[in-house]
Amino acid sequence: MRKEMRKFLFLGTFEEQHLFFERAQKIGDFEFISVSGVKPHLFPKHVEELRFALHILKKQQVVEQESVDFPDGPTLVHKILSLKKEIENSHEELRLLTLEIARVEPLGEFDLGELHKISEETGQVVQFFFTRHDKVFNEDPISLPIYLSRAFDFDYYMHIGDKEFSHPFFTEITVTKSLKSLKKEKEKVEKLSYQKEKALSALATYIDFLNDYLLQELNTIHLQFAQEDVDYYLDGKLFGIEAWIPENRIDSIKGLISGLAIVVQEISIKKDDVVPTCLENDGIGRIGQDLVEVYDTPAVTDKDPSSWIVFTFALFFAMIVSDAGYGLLFLLTSIYLWCAFPHLKGVKKRMLKLATILSCATILWGVMIASYFSVKLAPDNPVNRYSGIYLLAEKKMAYAMEEGGETYKEWLEEYPKIASAKEPMDAFLSGTKTENGRQKYALLGDVYNNLLLEIALLFGIIHLTLSFLRNLYRSWMGIGWIAVLWGGYLYFSKMLGATTIFQYLHIITLDNAGKLGEQLLYGGLISAILLAVIQFKWVGLSAIFKVIEVFSDTLSYLRLYALGLAGMVLAETANEMGAMIGGYVIGGIIVIIGHGINIGLCLLAGIIHGLRLHFLEWYHHSFEGGGKKWKPLCLLMKE
């Protein structure tokens, strides 16, 4: 949850300054600010070099050594950066040599020294040329240079004569080194480059040492930065500095100033003060905090959404993946990672916990919608007893058979055999189609799709309702918009003649839903505008334009259905391709490859769109953002 911040001023003697800040760093509860304003802090060059050196080593493959010495930090950093520079130079030299070899190789092997010696002794001019192969020459072939070879659609020639040869179609090649010497030079550079790369990889053993060294340097520099923010009074005899402290950590002030000649006084927060945001969560909430901080930091006027996001993100991720089989694979992967890395800490451990939560949510949702690697189950399959969507489908079919409305008539036209059905299961067993020689329970699939579409929209309305409720303390018109959301859902269903979950669960009749929806829709719209005017005066009239935003945000949740359906279709296609090709080996490979690609796409869609629905649609109505994260002076330590 978000902790309220309080502002304090510390005044003390110059002699106590260093000890004061050392204590503050060990306690880690104070974000210091300069009394005279923000002062820029630039990290020294050696810290930037240290960070870059660590970045280089993390890309290297660790080479095991019998013993590891702990060298001098600056010396090690210099060695890493020097090796990296030398390797880069070697790679550039190899690139140029490779180009030079490609340029000279078509001329063949020859001793350049011998060639120059012959030229000097005989007085003959020796030249090399190349030209495009498709050039046509009208000259006598005898007058042309000697043809040597062809490479990359170019012809290469050699000229030996009393005077220099010149022709507009021929380009002279200047040879400074023979092919043999170039190859030897390249081999030498490759060997040196390999040795340097091996030496750099060996230094990867010191990653932990450099990490400790970096933390030590950062702690020293942060302490220095904090001391640079003080203002001095009475010719430097007193120092003063302000600090932000969360209200639940006020007691730490006593430990900070105990035994020191320091005076502390709480001061009022000014309107132009940039108050930092302090989020403190444990367990599930801490995982949610990591997700929140991916996008933005809450403003000091925002409620902390951390705990909310974990559960709704898990739900949306599961709805997008929509397969219990995939969820089981995710869970097995998570269990393997728990066993392989039992000592994970910090954000890595929290992310693994999140992966486990998402895996379990995907399994539960997949069971609810009876999706197991997109294998289509027959209506009378006993597995459907545990499927929530199948139970809803039976309710919907029973309602349609009883009422005999437009939807049921359309089903009769498409699936005539269901006319003799007495029970919903009989209708689903009769409502089949034959595609590619295979019988499909198409009617049950149509009902499933309609239900999933409605559930996605319904969850979107619930999600936005929670957003408006969370923001009522800042915007009263949220009451009206909640009424608009539910009124639109009921009223437009009546207008379109579509039955909803509320009808076939016998919660409310279609006619009553239409009447109630109309009242909520128009009453909510009027209430939203009136409440906005009461709270924000005439500026509140702009609330009328929020109708479009609320409508578009609601429809955005249909992506839960669309992406889930896309994943199921791709998985089903993979199954069909494997069956069509036939054979346990080749067919199995096709199925595995197809599902592997689909799993990758589902993971991307689940994470990206699951978070997007929070960061855009949900945040629209309950999140201001743009906050400044609270960063106290503290000792940096390994997680």
Question: Residue 543's pLDDT is what?
Answer: 85
What is the rounded distance in angstroms from the CA atom of residue 299 to the CA atom of residue 474?
13
Q: How does pLDDT run across 86-142, given as a tens digit for each residue?
A: 999 999 999 999 999 988 888 888 888 888 888 888 888 888 998 887 765 555 566
> Pick the residue with more confidence: 119 or 435?
119
Range name among 42-46, 293-297, 421-425 with the lowest pLDDT average: 42-46
Q: How does pLDDT run across 375-391, given as a tens digit for each residue?
A: 888 898 999 888 999 99
Domain span at residue 414 reads: 382-448
The CA-CA-CA angle for residues 164, 167, 169, to 5°, reads: 140
Those residues whose C-beta lies under 8 Å from the C-beta of residue 63, and which sit 6 or more positions away, are: 198, 201, 202, 204, 205
Range name among 59-63, 308-312, 337-341, 471-475 with the lowest pLDDT average: 59-63
At residue 325 the predicted structure's pLDDT band, cuts being 50, 70 and 90, is very high
Question: Residue 637's pLDDT is what?
Answer: 83
Tokens of 136: 């046509």
* Number of alpha helices (DSSP H) and beta strands (DSSP E) in the chain: 21, 14
Question: Residue 581's pLDDT is what?
Answer: 81
Q: What's the Cα-to-Cα distance from 103 to each of 115, 156, 215, 610, rounded to whole Å? A: 18, 10, 51, 54
What is the rounded distance in angstroms from the CA atom of residue 315 to the CA atom of residue 360?
10
**Is 608 a residue whose pLDDT tops 90?**
yes
Q: Is residue 335 part of a domain?
A: no
**Is 39 a residue whose pLDDT tops 80?**
no
Question: Residue 487's pLDDT is what?
Answer: 94
What is the rounded distance in angstroms from the CA atom of residue 75 to the CA atom of residue 68?
16
Average pLDDT over residues 410-414: 89
Question: Residue 139's pLDDT is what?
Answer: 56
What is the rounded distance in angstroms from the CA atom of residue 216 to the CA atom of residue 222?
10
**Is 553 a residue whose pLDDT tops 90?**
yes
Question: Residue 68's pLDDT is what?
Answer: 53
First to last CA, the chain: 22
What average pLDDT is seen over the chain? 89
pTM (whole model) above 0.85:
no
Q: Is residue 76 part of a domain?
A: no
Q: How many CA atoms lie within 13 A of 103 on its CB side?
A: 17
Neighbours of 339 (CB within 10 A): 8
Q: Can you tell me which residue has the tokens 């969360």?
A: 246
Q: Is residue 396 part of a domain?
A: yes
The CA-CA-CA angle for residues 252, 256, 259, to 5°, reads: 130
Q: Is residue 308 part of a domain?
A: no
Report the candidate in 307, 303, 327, 328 with the shortest Cα–Cα distance to residue 317: 327
Q: Is residue 343 part of a domain?
A: no
Express as a percent the part of the chain with pLDDT over 90.
Answer: 56
Question: Residue 297's pLDDT is what?
Answer: 92
Q: How does pLDDT run across 439-487, given as a tens digit for each residue?
A: 889 999 999 999 999 999 999 999 999 999 999 999 999 999 999 999 9
Question: Residue 168's pLDDT is what?
Answer: 83
Q: Can you tell me which residue has the tokens 């309305």?
A: 461
Q: How far is CA 467 from the centre of its chain?
A: 24
Average pLDDT over residues 416-433: 89
Q: How many structural domains compose the chain?
A: 2
Report whether 97 contacts 189 (CB < 8 A): yes
**Is 324 a residue whose pLDDT tops 90?**
yes
Residue that is last in its domain, among 154, 177, 200: 177
Residue that is last in its domain, among 137, 153, 177: 177
Q: Is residue 365 part of a domain?
A: no
What is the rounded distance in angstroms from the CA atom of residue 473 to the CA atom of residue 622?
10
What is the rounded distance in angstroms from the CA atom of residue 498 to the CA atom of residue 491?
10
Q: Is residue 48 part of a domain?
A: no
Question: Residue 63's pLDDT is what?
Answer: 59
Average pLDDT over residues 503-511: 87
Report the candidate in 412, 378, 442, 444 with the shortest Cα–Cα distance to residue 420: 412
Q: How does pLDDT run across 358-373, given as a tens digit for each residue?
A: 999 999 999 999 999 9
Question: Residue 142's pLDDT is what?
Answer: 62
Strand order in the sheet with 2-3: 2-3, 276-279, 628-629
Report the candidate in 319, 354, 305, 307 with the shortest Cα–Cα distance to residue 459: 319
Express as a percent the part of the chain with pLDDT over 70.
Answer: 96
Residues in the chain: 639
Average pLDDT over residues 141-161: 83
Q: How does pLDDT run across 516-529, given as a tens digit for each residue?
A: 999 999 999 999 99
Range name among 39-43, 97-101, 439-443, 550-554 with the lowest pLDDT average: 39-43
Question: Residue 62's pLDDT is what?
Answer: 64
Those residues whose C-beta lies under 8 Å from the C-beta of residue 152, and which sit 6 or more positions away, are: none
Residue that is last in its domain, among 417, 448, 479: 448
Q: How does pLDDT run across 230-256, given as a tens digit for each residue?
A: 888 888 889 999 999 999 999 999 999
Q: Is residue 611 part of a domain?
A: no
Q: How does pLDDT run across 559-599, given as a tens digit for each residue?
A: 999 999 999 999 999 988 888 887 778 888 999 999 999 99
